Amino acid sequence: SGFPSQLKSGLSKVGVPTGLLDFLFSWADAPENYPKIPEAKGAISAIQSEAFFVPLFELYLTYGGIYRLTFGPKSFLIVSDPAIAKHILRENSKAYSKGILAEILEFVMGTGLIPADGEIWRVRRRAIVPALHQKYVTAMINLFGEATDRLCRKLDAAASDGEDVEMESLFSRLTLDIIGKALFNYDFDSLTNDTGIVEVFLLIPFLLVPVIREQAVYTVLREAEDRSVAPIPLWEIPIWKDISPRQRKVATALKLINTTLDDLIAICKRMVDEEELQFHEEYMNEQDPSILHFLLASGDDVSSKQLRDDLMTMLIAGHETSAAVLTWTFYLLSMEPGVMAKLQEEADSVLGDRFPTIDDMKKLKYATRVINESLRLYPQPPVLIRRSLEDDKLGDYPIKRNEDIFICIWNLHRSPKQWDDADKFNPERWPLDGPNPNETNQNFRYLPFGGGPRKCLGDMFATFETVVALSMLVRRFNFQMALGAPEVKMTTGATIHTTEGLKMTVSRRIKPPIVPTLEMPAFEVDKPVGVP
Ligand code: HEM
């Protein structure tokens, strides 16, 4: 009603065709026929202060499952509703791209699998997914065990010396060592390497062994995280790149990583050329089971730039995420001794002193539930980013193309509408004999690995990795918050970090007696040698 409709009826009376009038006045009708997305007001100052998804949760409680957040000329749609998340991620995923995420990460991931869209993504996903086959994952379990064992030895020394340990950085080293081996058979050896200051890169020409120190990787990671929360993209200003010491450092680190990856690719190519192994579905080189080796042996026809982009993408995807999961799991456990005791009991009875095997993955049920629950409370990343490529409808609301959208996994995972006692760390909410919770059986209220075609391809890898590390660590040690440790607060990057680390006191557990299992031929073992 109002002026537009008076004008419309007036024009109709003077003979303008109704079809044309409907078209001309559709803009005026729209707000009447369609509900408008609620707009969150006065949020900007709040957003700058803390981990940015915390105020988004407060606004969700006020404005509901979809609302608009405006910063000057820019606005974002904040989605915290399972049905809308499902629509964007699965039902109409073709209509969405990675948007600002791709723009922010371009400098480090290029057109790697996470930022890539369209045809490049399709081709690369099809090439890479087969590399994570059953036999590969089985081999990786040994790798998880060996790397965790190195961490155990470090903790053992700390326990002897009565020194507190900062677990967040140790977990970061653990998962870096693992992902380097898993992706391109490269040993960062960051757990045994403590220096971590001086040279970023050391090339030993006569051996042709490039040694990349984790420093370069960290420089780039920090930069990616800072860029994702920076209000102004300073790094896009040409001169800034050359004069800012920090941007120069980033550029050097990137060059270094590229050279190193090129060298690793070249070494791997030579290995593939020399080996006799026939390529098949579950192809794996025992000496080098890495994903890179699989890709090269499969005859993956791809530029070395794209291959580098994909490796770098997976290095980042698989490193910080798993480290953050372990960090927050141990933080949660420090407040729930009952859960810890149950976890230790399971590790004792399933593993004893052994390294975990693939068969144990089915048996370490409680450890798996602890990880499931940790991922509910601390999803990594806490927010998924998308941009609409065409007009669409989200719930009741029509939206235009080019909308930037945040799917708030944090909100979904902590919604009082979705969960009983939403903030409580309660692994028991997932029955041991039930299915492993995932986005499908939880109907998109639980999205630890995303969903739809862009779902994480490392989900099984990451679950086994964290279950192995968790079980082996709690089997050997007790963990407590260190006396006088800084309060554990969250800060945001791509994943959720602590502001000042996770300082813990680690003590050796007194080994419980290993109860003989049925398979053990007890009477033969007991019989003293030489006695008739
Ligand atoms: C994508 C979580 C470990 C490789 C994703 C997504 C999530 C996620 C939520 C979806 C992103 C989106 O839709 O925008 C996690 C968590 C991990 C983990 C919580 C650890 C606990 C890994 C590992 C790898 C990996 C170990 C590699 C071996 C990828 C890749 C994608 C992805 C390549 C992009 C897939 C695509 O777009 O087709 N991850 N991830 N992730 N993840 Fe993971």
* DSSP output for 30-82: HHHHSPPPPEE-S-HHHHHHS-THHHHHHHHHHH-SEEEEEETTEEEEEE--H
- This prediction has a pTM of 0.84
Q: Nearest CA to 296 among 325, 262, 271, 322? A: 271
Is ligand 1 within 6 A of the CB of residue 125? yes
Name the nearest CA neighbour of 379 among 294, 480, 492: 492
Q: How far apart are CA 420 and CA 479, in angstroms?
A: 28
Residue 207 pLDDT > 50, yes or no? no
325 CB within 6 A, ligand 1:
yes
Closest of 253, 236, 213, 238 to residue 108, by C-alpha: 253
Q: Dump pLDDT digits (tens) for 15-33.
A: 888 778 777 776 665 555 6
Atom index in ligand 1 nearest the CA of residue 461 equals 26
Q: What residue spans of 64-161 are helical by DSSP H? A: 82-86, 100-109, 118-128, 134-161
pLDDT at site 221: 63
The rounded mean pLDDT for the chain is: 86
Ligand 1 within 6 A of 458 CB?
yes
Q: Is 454 a pocket residue for ligand 1 (Cβ < 6 Å)? A: yes
Cα 231 off chain centre by: 23
Gap from CA of 321 to ligand 1 centroid (Å)? 8
- How many whole angstroms from 459 Cα to the centroid of ligand 1? 7
Residue with CA at minimum distance from ligand 1 atom 36: 454
**Residue 78's pLDDT band (boundaries 50, 70, 90)?**
very high
Residue 289 Cβ inside 6 Å of ligand 1? The answer reads no
Which carries the bigger pLDDT value, residue 35 or residue 37? 37
Which residue's CA is the nearest one to ligand 1's atom 26? 318
pLDDT value at residue 163 = 96
Spell 317-326 as b/e; 16+ CB within 10 A means b: bbbbbbbbbb
> In the structure, what pLDDT confidence band is assigned to residue 276 with cuts at 50, 70 and 90?
confident
* pLDDT (0 to 100) of residue 260: 84
Q: Confidence band (pLDDT; 50, 70, 90) for 300?
A: confident
pLDDT above 80 (res 516): no
Supply the residue whose CA is at minimum distance from atom 43 of ligand 1: 456
Q: What percent of the chain has pLDDT over 90?
A: 64
Give percent above pLDDT 70 in the chain: 84
* Ligand 1 geometric centre to CA of 444 (Å): 16
Given CA atoms 290, 296, 297, 299 in this order, what sign does their dihedral have? positive
What does the alpha-carbon distance between residue 363 and residue 433 come to, in Å, rounded to a whole number?
11
Residue 317 Cβ contacting ligand 1 at under 6 Å: yes
The residue whose CA has the least distance to atom 39 of ligand 1 is 456
What DSSP string describes 374-437?
HHHHS-SSSEEEEEESS-EEETTEEE-TT-EEEEEHHHHHH-TTT-TTTTS--GGGS-TTSPPP
Closest ligand 1 atom number to CA of residue 325: 21
Exposure string over 449-465, b if 16+ CB within 10 A, otherwise e: bbbbebbbbbebbbbbb
Is residue 62's pLDDT more than 60? yes
Closest protein CA for atom 10 of ligand 1:
450
Q: Whose CA is nearest to atom 38 of ligand 1?
A: 454
Structural contact between residues 158 and 165, judged by C-beta atoms closer than 8 angstroms: yes
**Which of 58-62, 104-108, 246-250, 524-528 is predicted with the least confidence, judged by mean pLDDT?**
524-528
Say how many Å lie between the CA of residue 454 and the centre of ligand 1: 8
CB of 143 within 6 A of ligand 1: the answer is no
Residue 436 binned pLDDT confidence (cut-offs 50, 70, 90): very high
Say yes or no: CB of residue 180 within 6 Å of ligand 1: no
The answer, yes or no, to whether residue 328 has pLDDT greater than 80, is yes
- Tell me the per-residue pLDDT of 175-200, one tens digit each, with 9 for 90 and over: 999 999 999 998 887 887 654 322 22
Helix (H, G, I), strand (E, B) or coil at 357: coil
Tokens of 113: 């699998």
Supply the residue whose CA is at minimum distance from atom 21 of ligand 1. 322
CB 315 within 8 A of CB 217: yes
> Measured from the CA of 324, which atom of ligand 1 is nearest?
21
Locate the ligand 1 atom nearest the alpha carbon of residue 125 and give its number: 38
Is residue 232 pLDDT above 70, yes or no? no
Contact (Cβ atoms closer than 8 angstroms) between residue 103 and residue 114: no
Q: Three-class SS of residue 98?
A: coil
Distances (CA, A) of 122 to 99, 343, 360: 17, 40, 34
CA of 455 to the centre of ligand 1 (A): 7
Which of 216-220, 248-252, 475-479 shows the lowest per-residue confidence on average (mean pLDDT)? 216-220
Is the pLDDT higher at 105 or at 164? 164
- To which residue do tokens 């050359």 refer? 242
ipTM above 0.90, yes or no: yes
Rounded Cα distance between 97 and 105, Å, is 14
Tokens of 50: 């803390």
Please give the distance, rounded to the nearest whole angstrom, from the Cα atom of residue 318 to the centre of ligand 1.
7
Q: Does residue 234 have a pLDDT over 90? A: no
Pocket probe for ligand 1: among 456, 464, 470, 495, the residue whose CB has the most ligand atoms within 8 Å is: 456
